[in-house]
Amino acid sequence: MSEVFKRAAAEYAVAFVRSGMRVGLGTGSTARFATQRLAELVRLGELTDIVGAATSQATRAEAMALGLTLMDDALPADLDLTIDGADEIDPELNLIKGGGGSLLREKIVAQASRRLVIVADDSKLSPHLGTRFFVPVEVLPFGWRVQARYLTSLGATVTLRQAQQPFLTDQGNYILDCQFGPIADLKGLALALQARAGILEHGLFLGLATDVIVAGAQGVRHLP
């Protein structure tokens, strides 16, 4: 049933797109439904002059296969709207993202967007970030154990993400999955992560989402 909810949230969000927009295309199962719906509307001629910006190589490949026009990875123009998913969402619309490993590119695209629309099923809602999901942290392979010790000193249980061998991001970096439990000071933790050489990005997306579209058994809700 969650797939039904994900599709409902994604298709609701695509209704915000207008012809001529530059649209960020998110990564993950829910965002994929949005990319598919967007491509369908372009094929039908209901939307024209749409240019996309992919948040991962996987999303780029899918968007190209669907016939969408994409800007290059230099992102030569700001974006009108990005539709992306999230792993956890708190009542202030702060997010944890990066379960798919694309957090660095996702954050670059989010910060380049005038509007960030998050799509999710209602299982992603949480009273406090860290309650339901770990915080992904992208680090350089060089010195990654130094970063793991630092993250442990901040209170995390740290796991190197594996896929038979260490998982590599599109940039060739590692992901450390950090279980903090409910996070009392989101801004403080974000600053501590940003201040450390070798940590390239973290999965706390604070104050970036402008809209959250959540679908569940009670229907689709728009959280502004």
Domain boundaries, the chain: 2-125+206-217, 135-201
Q: Which residues, at least 6 apart from 131, have a Cβ–Cβ distance to it below 8 Å?
A: 88, 181, 182
* CA distances to 60, 90, 144, 155, 211 from 10, in Å: 18, 19, 36, 35, 12
Cα separation values, 81 from 24, 25, 85, 195, Å: 6, 9, 13, 29
The CATH homologous superfamily to which domain 135-201 belongs is ACT domain (3.30.70.260)
Say if domain 2-125+206-217 classifies as CATH 3.40.50.300: no
Q: How confident is the model at residue 224 (pLDDT cuts 50, 70, 90)?
A: confident
Q: Report pLDDT for 52.
A: 98
pLDDT value at 58 more than 90: yes
Active site residue 62: no
**Whole-prediction pTM value?**
0.95
In DSSP notation, 11-48 reads HHHHTT--TT-EEEE--SHHHHHHHHHHHHHHHTTSS-
Q: What is the pLDDT of residue 42?
A: 98
Choice among 62, 88, 106, 201 that is catalytic: 106
Judged against a pLDDT cut of 60, whether residue 152 lies above it is answered with yes
pLDDT value for 166: 95
Q: What percent of the chain has pLDDT over 70?
A: 100
**Which candidate, 105, 73, 108, places its Cα nearest to that of 169?**
105
**Average pLDDT for residues 196-204, to the nearest whole number?**
98
Residue 147, pLDDT score: 98
The two three-digit tokens of residue 169, written as one number: 């991001």
Reported as half-sphere exposure (CB side, CA atoms, 13 A), residue 132 has a value of: 16
**Residue 1 scores a pLDDT above 70:** no
Percent of the chain with pLDDT over 90: 97
pLDDT of residue 2: 83
* Structure tokens belonging to residue 123: 């299982």
d(CA 71, CA 24): 10
CA 122 to CA 220: how far, in whole Å?
A: 9
Phi, psi of 3 (to 5 degrees): -65, -35
Whether 70 contacts 52, CB under 8 Å: yes
Phi and psi, residue 83, nearest 5°: -115, 120
In whole numbers, what is the pLDDT of the chain averaged over residues? Answer: 97
Mean pLDDT in residue range 119-141: 97
